[in-house]
């Protein structure tokens, strides 16, 4: 495992002439029995990196679809320990990079040093924390890096270039660019100002730039050619599964 694994996965996809694909599923969704089967299916059908959500009771960045899915997982008894222990058992079968995404509280409760060590042991390549500001995350970023786990920088439409430069200095994995000023959830269109923000990110970061929040179809990326190295999609995938359809079928649209 290497701190550059996530960037390497995206760069490899780009070298083949395509945008890297990063599907998101909350840990334990649609249920604990089939969750790892869904992850293996995403991996076998074109996922370059897979984001696993860490269900949390106060998901301030999640839209209604992801929030409802996360609440169901919590009700089913899913927690961070269950995700890490389960991943450790199947990681050798997964070729994609693995990122956990969520909020700081569950990680803090787990124990920062224990999390960094266990994440490395389970083959987790990166972590996205939606509510951890740059200034409060530096020490944890270094702790994760010492365990070959990247703390992925999260920026958005309201992140000024000067602040992006702070995140870029020592940033690992990829830059996660949030497409909207709002919560997760697929949209029919993306805001026009996104091109300016993405161009700033591409100019400032020396790691790949991934676009998330709002994506439901690859056609949305046509207007952003050259500005997006990887696409993240969650709500559309969750709805697809809720309709009784397979992850393989969903990924066909993107590959």
As annotated, the active-site residues are 51, 62
State the Cα–Cα distance between residues 37 and 238, nearest whole angstrom.
15
Identify the CA nearest to 80 among candidates 105, 48, 47.
105
Backbone angles phi, psi at 214, to 5 degrees: 110, -5
State the Cα–Cα distance between residues 5 and 74, nearest whole angstrom.
30
Where is 114: in which H helix or E strand? helix 112-122
Q: Interior CA angle at 211 toward 234 and 190, to 5°?
A: 90
Backbone angles phi, psi at 128, to 5 degrees: -120, 120
State the Cα–Cα distance between residues 63 and 3, nearest whole angstrom.
30
Looking at the DSSP bridge assignments, the partners of residue 101 are 53, 128
Say if CB 231 and CB 221 are below 8 A apart: yes
DSSP 37-88: HHHHHHHHTT-SEEEEE---S--TT--HHHHHHHHHHHHTT--HHHHHHHHH
């Amino acid at each position: 495992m290497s701190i550059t694994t996530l960037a390497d996965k995206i760069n490899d996809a780009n070298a083949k002439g395509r945008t890297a694909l990063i599907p998101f599923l909350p840990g334990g969704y649609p249920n604990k029995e089939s969750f790892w089967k869904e992850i293996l299916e995403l991996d076998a059908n074109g996922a370059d990196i897979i984001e696993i959500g860490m269900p949390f009771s106060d998901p301030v960045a999640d839209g209604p679809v992801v929030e409802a899915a996360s609440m169901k997982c919590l009700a089913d008894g899913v927690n961070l320990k269950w995700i890490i222990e389960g991943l450790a058992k199947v990681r050798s079968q997964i070729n994609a990079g693995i990122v956990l995404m969520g909020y700081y509280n569950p990680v803090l409760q787990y124990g920062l040093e224990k999390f960094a060590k266990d994440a490395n042991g389970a083959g987790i390549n990166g972590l996205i924390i939606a509510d951890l500001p740059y200034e409060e995350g530096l020490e944890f970023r270094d702790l994760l890096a010492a365990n070959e786990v990247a703390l992925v920088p999260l920026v958005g439409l309201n992140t000024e270039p000067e602040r992006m430069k702070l995140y870029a200095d020592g940033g690992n994995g990829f830059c996660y660019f949030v497409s909207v000023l709002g919560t997760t959830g697929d949209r029919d269109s993306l805001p026009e100002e996104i091109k300016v923000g993405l161009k700033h990110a591409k100019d400032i970061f020396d790691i790949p730039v991934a676009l998330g929040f709002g994506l439901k179809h690859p056609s949305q990326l046509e207007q952003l050619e050259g500005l997006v190295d990887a696409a993240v999609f969650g709500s559309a995938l969750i709805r697809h599964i809720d309709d009784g359809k397979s992850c393989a079928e969903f990924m066909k649209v993107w590959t």
